[in-house]
């Protein structure tokens, strides 16, 4: 059953919104004058000399995970490109050299100008091949083509940039668990 909420009638001054507009202007003027006469009170980072602290779980630029032998972890299942609402991921599959894996990507590209950084690609991946935890948020280039990142750019990361508790990153070449993972993988 619907509940009717009675609304009080606004006065003519309230209908004009003038007091509220004046309050808003007064607040804005107060902030302006405080910043003008006391600039040390404004919270500012001297960017790019001082970089902001980016949380580990912030959805930033993508990376492709590596197997212990350095090959991409992706199995070219197209789940990430299917889940992407912006259709910015393009994959071409090829047969894998390793007999244990059916397919691997021959081409994996992400158009960062189209990407909305929603993280659905990382959630959809069944083998944890794509992540968005690089903490790289400054994306700059002088041409549109440079924003189309391929497999080489996506796999250009160092395991030492990630915590020791991230075992999947540490199993990649150069990581602390790579030797152990290579033995388990049989490489």
Residue 25 located in a structural domain: no
48 inside domain: no
Q: What is the mean pLDDT of the chain?
A: 91
- Which domain covers residue 68, as residue numbers? 63-159
Q: Is the residue at 11 inside a domain?
A: no
Whether 152 is in a domain gets the answer yes
- CA-CA-CA-CA dihedral for 16, 18, 24, 27, to nearest 10: -160
Q: Is 37 left (phi over 0), alpha (psi -120 to 50) or beta?
A: alpha
Mean pLDDT of the region 43-49: 86
Report yes or no on 3 lying in a domain.
Answer: no
Per-residue confidence (pLDDT) for residue 113, from 0 to 100 = 95
113-171 confidence digits (pLDDT tens): 999 999 999 999 999 999 999 999 888 999 999 999 999 999 999 999 999 999 899 99
Return the higher-pLDDT residue of 15 and 170.
170
Predicted model pTM: 0.74
The answer as to whether 74 is a domain residue is yes
pLDDT for res 83: 96
The CATH number that applies at residue 82 is 3.30.70.3270
89 belongs to a structural domain: yes
Amino acid 61: pLDDT? 94
Domains contained in the chain, number: 1
For residue 145, being part of any structural domain is answered with: yes
pLDDT band for 87, please (50, 70, 90 cuts): very high
Q: For residue 113, give the nearest of 149, 82, 80 by alpha carbon.
A: 149
């Amino acid at each position: 059953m619907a509940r009717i909420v009675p609304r009080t009638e606004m006065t003519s001054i309230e209908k004009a919104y003038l007091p509220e507009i004046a309050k808003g202007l007064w607040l804005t003027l107060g902030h302006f004058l405080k910043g003008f006469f006391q600039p040390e009170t404004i919270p500012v980072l001297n960017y790019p000399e001082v970089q902001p602290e980016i949380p580990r779980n912030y959805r930033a630029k993508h990376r492709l995970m590596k197997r212990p032998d350095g090959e991409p972890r992706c199995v070219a299942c197209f789940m990430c490109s299917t889940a992407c609402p912006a259709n910015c991921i393009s994959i071409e599959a090829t047969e894998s050299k390793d007999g244990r894996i059916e397919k691997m990507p021959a081409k994996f590209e992400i158009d960062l100008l189209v990407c909305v950084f929603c993280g659905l690609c990382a959630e959809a991946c069944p083998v944890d091949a794509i992540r968005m935890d690089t903490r790289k948020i400054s994306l700059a280039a002088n041409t549109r083509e440079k924003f189309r990142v391929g497999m080489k750019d996506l796999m250009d990361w160092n395991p030492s940039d990630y915590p020791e508790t991230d075992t999947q990153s540490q199993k990649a070449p150069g990581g602390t668990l790579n030797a152990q993972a290579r033995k388990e993988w049989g490489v």
